[in-house]
Chains A and B, each alone.
Chain A
Amino acid sequence: MPITLYLKQAPAVPLETEVLSPDVISQLSNTEIRKLTVYHGKRQVPLEEFFDVDGEHSDELIIHGDLNKVRWIGRAMSKGSITVHGKVGMHLGAYMKGGRIEVHGDASDWIGAEMKNGFIHVHGNAGGQIGAAYRGSLAGMKNGTIIVDGSAGLEVGMRMRRGTIVLGGIARDFTGLQMKGGTIILMSGAEIRTGAWMNRGTIISLKPLQMMPTFAYASDFNPMFLNVYAKQLKTYGVTLPYAASAGTYQRFAGDLSVPGKGEILVWQPA
């Protein structure tokens, strides 16, 4: 029996709810959950002031409502699942170590920032800095998977170290900025400056990209590892073409300004 939360009233200013995580809630009774402290701006208020809570003792959370001002949901969670029906605010699943987050609606900036492991699926659009490193931090997400069906904002996967990000819609500028590893898959391409200053890692685009001038064309090929990726991503409903009969990938190496060993693969259908 999962714990279900309903947003009673929209917060006037951002509501910081890092307690909405299975790690915090799973052992608590219904009354204890209602008494958890959340921050409405600078004011500490009990969770029940903003949410109706059903259920107790579970590591499955279901949250309903327009949560676009509710931040830090699922922060550093390591187990269980969170399902959000509605919009969700910044820092969803930041620092998470395991478990699942599913959003049926739009998400905001910094989802899965510096996550270590786990799975995030956003069915709507997302904001910028997905799986990114916080300002002043050296590495972004270190493992795990983030799937966004819709579009995304600036600096997706900024300084990410490992892990996978899949974007169904178009991403804005600076996708994979200063990437140090991992994979970003762009099903609908991106705006400008993709892969700027990247060190290592792979960006795969199924649509033509405007390249940074500091990327050099290397070759056309069908990398073997994509078979494995395609099979794995199939389980999440993502279809990645890899067969030589269907087309080839153009490989661009860069970024020369670092100089980095990153690659951007652009799909060329046959």
Chain B
Amino acid sequence: MGGKVTCTLGEVKQRADFIVYWGGNPAECHPRHFTKYTIMQKSKFLPRGRKDRTMVLVDIRETKSAKAADIFLQVKPGKDFELITILRALIKDQHVGDEQIAETGMTRAGLDDLVHRMKSCKFGVFFFGMGLSMTRGKHMNSAALLTLAAEMNAFTKFVAMPMRGHGNVTGADVIMRWQTGYPFGITFNRGYPRYNPGEFSTVDVLVRGDCDAAFIIGADPGATMPQPAIDHLARIPTICLDPHVTHTSRLARVHITTAAQGISAPGTAYRMDELPLPLKPALKSPYPSDEEVVRRINEAIAKKPFWLPDGSQPQVVTAIG
């Protein structure tokens, strides 16, 4: 396991002749994805557009996206990790029993056909959604698909890309990554970044009650996180920056109304393939932008004395010795 094999949506549009959507419903959740980037576009390498491309949908139920797919594979709920692991075995010509394949809701003929198509395509893409990354197994389900994509490169070009949800999650990941080397789940308490998802990731910190203040920008954990996390947010001083009044701002001590990014405040958004796109505001807002609020908070903090005793430095914990 390691790394993500990826590309931009431009490459997908120009070259991808085999597209798999796994655990997502792009027809309803990303309605412009098909027409702008994936199956409908004609290109130099795929001049007949839709006819030159194959689309596979893997999901636990037949959603609206199934109508657009050439092949629909209905996986049993909670069996995604098993199915991907079987595929990893099959591409290496390992024998997996019919009974074991049937447990995931698949047939041998169906999987043989899928593996043949995967190996014989010119450029394959996996797009995976919350149906994969938010069900039992969580990060390991995503890791399984990323590993499968990496291993498929022994046969042909293959990439994997997550279909992100609302908000600019990709942007947050990208910024954290180039600033610290890690995308999320980072602590700075020793003065330098340390990474350990599960220990430092937001939901785990909140559920365990490991923080004594929270600062929330561009997210609504009050609506999405488990109840113990929400209870802890209500217990501690929570500051919320949002253009609207959200569930989080109802339980926060402070809510600062900011201008909506891309509508009344400029900025940069990262597309799901990590491409930065500038946002030009169409309207004016009486409210400050998120950036300005954070800058002013930073200026106020800079006036306070340094948080470590005079002359001392944070000590490194990770050096083995």
Give A contacts to B, CB under 8 Å: 12-14, 16, 18, 37, 39, 41-44, 69, 72, 75-76, 90, 95, 109-110, 128-129, 134-136, 173-174, 177-178, 192-193, 196-197, 212-214, 216, 255-259
Contact = CB atoms under 8 A, between A and B. Distances in A.
Contact of B321 (A37, A76, A129): A76
B60 to A, nearest CB: 16
Contacts of A212: 82, 85
B317 A13 contact: no
A134 B200 CA distance: 13
A256 B210 contact: no
Nearest to B319: A76
Contacts of B136: 173, 192
A177 B188 CA distance: 29
Interface stretch (B218-226, B267-275, B305-313): B305-313
Interface string B80-103: 011001101100101111001101
B35 interface: no
A157 B198 CA distance: 16
B188 A42 contact: yes
A44 B311 CA distance: 12
B179 interface: no
Contacts of A214: 82, 85-86, 88-89, 94, 96, 100
Q: Per DSSP, are chain A's interface residues mostly helix, strand or loop, or mixed?
A: loop
Contacts, number: 97
Given A214-B96, A256-B94, A259-B89, A90 B321 contact: no
Nearest to B204: A109
Interface residues of B, number: 40
Interface of B: 1, 81-82, 85-86, 88-89, 92, 94-97, 100-101, 103-104, 136-137, 140, 188-191, 195-199, 210-212, 307-309, 312, 314-315, 317, 320-321
Interface centre among B96, B190, B210 (most CB of A within 10 A): B210
Given A44-B309, A135-B196, A72 B317 contact: yes
19 contacts: A12-B212, A13-B212, A39-B190, A42-B191, A42-B314, A43-B307, A44-B309, A44-B312, A135-B196, A135-B197, A178-B1, A192-B136, A193-B82, A193-B140, A196-B81, A255-B89, A256-B96, A258-B88, A259-B92
B94 A109 contact: no
A196 B144 CA distance: 10
Nearest to B103: A213
A42 B314 CA distance: 9
Contact of A213 (B100, B137, B140, B312): B100
B81 A39 contact: no
Contacts of A173: 136-137
A13 B210 contact: yes
Contacts of A90: 199
